[in-house]
Amino acid sequence: MSPIIAAPSSANSVNRRESHPHAGVVGRFAPSPTGALHTGSLVAAIGSYLMAKHAGGDWLLRLDDLDTRRQLPGMADDIMRTLELFGLHWDGEVSRQSRYLEEYGRAFAALQQQEVVYPCSCSRREIAGSASAPHHHDDGIPYPGTCRGGINDAAVVRSWRVRVPEEEICFVDFRKGHICQKLPDVSGDFALRRGDGEFAYQLAVVVDDFLTGVNQVVRGDDLLSSTPRQIYLQRLLGYPEPEYCHLPLVTGPDGMKLSKRDYLISHQLGSVAGRERAVLLAVLRFLGLNPPRDLDGAPCGALLEWGVAHFDPSHIPTRGGVILP
Ligand code: GLU
């Protein structure tokens, strides 16, 4: 099947495959500017950088700024300056989800044409209360398909959902190996768009990665369970599937996943001033790398260069844990 959306060809195109005809590895880091980076997001930034650069590829930066209600002013800038502080320089222009609304609309229309999308009038509370919901997952309760058969003309459309297949969606993760998931057990028919028109992360991320030529997605384990949903959309839209590597999660000393307020790594807050090297070393060790003593005192750029040369995804530990910056 040919891709539904033609990649942009204008002068300010962000399509990396177009500007890099060798079609090498294109990785990315895609933070949401809803808070400063924390040690967990820094692991995703550094892990995705090392893996792309180790393969001789490009590393892109995308700001996932679709959810305007949760954004904090100045955060996008803070994230970019913090990355630079660590010597993490991205290739090409920074892309922003907010610039791609038209492309999301075209992908959504293409899915509607395939008759896999339907309007849903269920509220969160109704879904939470649905007696037939079989399991609870980190992703919430799988949508039980209440509106699959159609909704009342007078009903308020709260979201637009895509029908998911019964068959398993499988893929190979660089660190975790062969992964299969039955979407009805985890998400059920998931939302692509809210009733007010806002596009959902699952659709946006798939379109973004395609448009920017991303073919290697390295990110935290917390997004592992979303990947089969994204692969399903890629298959429907005829997009190529990127390779995936999900990294272990950084936790607090209590073993819990970090929140937006924990262990912030921020240029604005001056939270790493003068300690960038120590933090970078801690992250490299977390990713299974052990820089030699003769790099003691080396600047971040030199440490990263060493990391790029020695990165090996098979050395990434299976378990996450604490990084105290
Ligand atoms: N923007 C998402 C986040 O900050 C990550 C998106 C992705 O890596 O696919 O959690």
Provide the residue ranges of all domains of the chain, joining segments of one domain with +.
Answer: 13-100+202-315, 103-201
**Residue 216 in contact with ligand 1 by CB distance below 6 A:** no
208 vs 21, higher pLDDT: 208
As given in the structure block, the two tokens for residue 136 are: 């609870």
Mean pLDDT of 318-325: 84
Share of the chain above pLDDT 70, in %: 90
Q: Report how far ligand 1's centroid is from the alpha carbon of 244 (Å).
A: 13
For residue 259, pLDDT beyond 90: no
CB 88 within 8 A of CB 304: yes
3-state secondary structure (DSSP) of residue 156: coil
Of 22-36, 227-241, 297-311, least confident by mean pLDDT is: 22-36
Of 19-23, 65-69, 158-162, least confident by mean pLDDT is: 19-23
**Residue 62 in contact with ligand 1 by CB distance below 6 A:** no
Out of 219, 249, 259, give the residue to mutate to test ligand 1, the one with the largest number of ligand atoms within 8 Å of its CB: 219
CB atoms < 10 A from the CB of 136, how many? 10
Torsions phi, psi for 270 (to 5 deg): 60, 25
Give CATH for domain 13-100+202-315: 3.40.50.620
Return the amino acid letter for 165. P
Please tell me what DSSP assigns to residue 118. E
Beta bridge partners of 264: 38
Share of the chain above pLDDT 90, in %: 72
For residue 8, pLDDT beyond 50: no
Show the DSSP H helices in the chain as ranges. Answer: 16-19, 39-54, 75-85, 101-113, 124-128, 183-186, 201-211, 227-237, 276-286, 300-310
Out of 41, 64, 259, give the residue to mutate to test ligand 1, the one with the largest number of ligand atoms within 8 Å of its CB: 64
Q: With bands split at pLDDT 50, 70 and 90, how would you rate the model's confidence at 23? A: low
Q: What is residue 11's predicted lDDT score, i.e. its pLDDT?
A: 32
CB 227 within 8 A of CB 171: yes
Q: Report how far ligand 1's centroid is from the alpha carbon of 65 (Å).
A: 10
Out of 26, 28, 29, 32, give the residue to mutate to test ligand 1, the one with the largest number of ligand atoms within 8 Å of its CB: 32
Q: Report how far ligand 1's centroid is from the alpha carbon of 209 (Å).
A: 11
Burial of 102 (0-12, 13-18, 19+ CB in 10 A): exposed
Return the amino acid letter for 72. L
Q: What is residue 132's predicted lDDT score, i.e. its pLDDT?
A: 55
Q: Report how far ligand 1's centroid is from the alpha carbon of 201 (Å).
A: 9
**Residue 219 in contact with ligand 1 by CB distance below 6 A:** yes
For residue 9, pLDDT beyond 90: no
Mean pLDDT of 148-171: 96
**In CATH terms, is domain 103-201 a member of 3.30.360.10?**
no
Q: Report how far ligand 1's centroid is from the alpha carbon of 32 (Å).
A: 6
Q: What is residue 198's predicted lDDT score, i.e. its pLDDT?
A: 94
Q: With bands split at pLDDT 50, 70 and 90, how would you rate the model's confidence at 4? A: low
pTM of the model: 0.91
**Residue 282 in contact with ligand 1 by CB distance below 6 A:** no
Beta bridge partners of 62: 95
Tens digits of residue pLDDT in 93-137:
999 999 999 999 999 999 999 999 999 999 888 887 775 555 555
Tens digits of residue pLDDT in 261-292:
778 888 888 888 888 999 999 999 999 999 99
**Residue 30 in contact with ligand 1 by CB distance below 6 A:** yes
Q: Among candidates 192, 171, 220, which has minimal Cα distance to 29? A: 220
Show the DSSP H helices in 129-166 as ranges. Answer: none
Cα gap 8→141, rounded to integer Å:
37
3-state helix, strand, coil in the chain (%, to 5): 35, 20, 45
Burial of 119 (0-12, 13-18, 19+ CB in 10 A): middle
For residue 256, pLDDT beyond 80: yes
Q: Report how far ligand 1's centroid is from the alpha carbon of 294 (Å).
A: 35
**Residue 209 in contact with ligand 1 by CB distance below 6 A:** no
